[in-house]
Amino acid sequence: MASDHAHAPQDDIVYPTTIPFVLVHLACFGAIWTGVTLQALWVAVVLYFIRMWAITAGYHRYFSHRSYKTNRVMQFFIAFLGQTSAQRGAIWWAAVHRHHHLHSDTPEDVHSPRHFGFWYSHFGWIFNPKNWEPDPGTVRDLTQYRELVILNKTNYTPAILLGFGMWLWGGWPMLVVGFFWSTVALYHGTFSINSLSHEWGSQRYLTGDDSRNNFFLALITLGEGWHNNHHHYQSSTRQGFRWWEIDISYYILKVMSWFGLVWDLRSPPDEVIRGVNPIGRKVIDKVATELAGSFSVETIAARVRESWAESHTLEDLSDRAKRTRDQLETRIAEMSLPHLPTIPELRDKAEEMFQESPSVDEIVSRAHELLAYMVAAHVCDTALAAA
């Protein structure tokens, strides 16, 4: 998939498929003719929060991360309610989201602001056909339920039924204000987690990506704004780790658990909240690569070549160039390279760039190793050219 993103992903957007999305937004201006009633406004607010809960507590915390359990009837009800948001089915949503966590803020992430810009990550990615059929192998735990598979195929039918019901109940004002206004607000509230929560806010934990905690986004998304917390410990039902981190979706699930509607809600262990556990190898490699990449490999390699040009080192390497390139690169990387940043220098840089982590020594060591091999590759090119 990385090769697919070698060019601008915006080039892959099928623009005719954006027409329904645009029309939903334009429908909001219908209030100029239908008028705005207090009843319709209240319905819009209620529909926004009910459906936001279905997305955050249902699509995200249940279907995507399986952070709690429920029965089959409640599972279907939450999926149907979430689908009235016009954000496709729970199976599709979960598959895309699991892929996001697997490749968060790398070129393979389907909606990374770092790589694809704000607007594409906010909603443009939805109209890229590469994202319409995510890997079904990632959601086998969901596709075993026939009713979820059937519901997932209906896409926007639940949303259309809700809109029609609003029109039957309260006429055009209820359709335009109650349904369309709340749906558009719901779109951008949800989408803001993919975009703004990876650009705007604070980072408490080192997660190897750009996830942020944002109090304002947590309020409008019922707790999803504690996004850095979530990326730090994805299996937690509760995303507001501290007492003051408001997480309304979790509070509702907690009340539901008292009545046996859901159970086995997961909370982060104390050591996870305090951030004292070593981070995983995958995150260490991601962070170390970013740290190594913050130095100019070309500049360091040029200085190494200048230093070695006055000795027989470069000449000796040229004689060794008859070996395979990999052997030569390894030989150079194992040598004492002048001008390579020292471990203390890398540590200072890491402290500037990242949050405090118990794994900083491993990150710095790995970054030093990566930087040595990157510089070696550049020096190797010179040695091979002179051979």
Boundary residue ending a domain (248, 274, 300): 274
- Whether residue 304 is found in the same domain as residue 264: no
- Whether residue 14 is found in the same domain as residue 42: yes
Residues 6+ apart with CB under 8 A from 244: none
- Whether residue 41 is found in the same domain as residue 118: yes
Boundary residue ending a domain (227, 248, 274): 274
- Whether residue 242 is found in the same domain as residue 316: no
- Whether residue 207 is found in the same domain as residue 322: no
- Whether residue 270 is found in the same domain as residue 286: no
**Residue 259 exposed, middle or buried by CB count within 10 Å (0-12, 13-18, 19+):** exposed
- Dist CA 141 CA 90 (whole Å): 12
Residue 320 confidence (pLDDT): 55
- Dist CA 380 CA 366 (whole Å): 21
Residue 71 confidence (pLDDT): 98
- Whether residue 163 is found in the same domain as residue 121: yes
- Dist CA 257 CA 236 (whole Å): 15
Provide the CB-side half-sphere exposure for 376 (13 A, CA). Answer: 21
- Whether residue 380 is found in the same domain as residue 353: yes
Provide the CB-side half-sphere exposure for 174 (13 A, CA). Answer: 13
Our count of domains for the chain comes to: 2
- Whether residue 291 is found in the same domain as residue 350: yes
217 close to 225: Cβ distance less than 8 angstroms: yes
Residue whose token pair is 């596709």: 143
**Residue 355 exposed, middle or buried by CB count within 10 Å (0-12, 13-18, 19+):** middle
Query: pLDDT tens, position by position, for the chain (387 residues)?
Result: 444 445 677 778 999 999 999 999 999 999 999 999 999 999 999 999 999 999 999 999 999 999 999 999 999 999 999 999 999 999 999 999 999 999 999 999 999 999 999 999 999 999 999 998 888 899 999 999 999 999 999 989 999 999 999 999 999 999 999 999 999 999 999 999 999 999 999 999 999 899 999 999 999 999 999 999 999 999 999 999 999 999 999 999 999 999 999 999 999 999 999 988 877 777 877 777 777 777 777 777 777 666 656 555 555 555 554 555 555 445 554 555 566 677 787 777 777 777 777 777 777 777 777 777 677 666 666 554 554
- Whether residue 303 is found in the same domain as residue 239: no
230 close to 239: Cβ distance less than 8 angstroms: yes
Boundary residue ending a domain (251, 274, 297): 274
- Dist CA 252 CA 265 (whole Å): 12
Other CB atoms within 10 Å distance of the CB of residue 93 = 25
- Whether residue 218 is found in the same domain as residue 320: no
- Whether residue 216 is found in the same domain as residue 303: no
Q: Which structural domain range is residue 342 located in?
A: 281-386
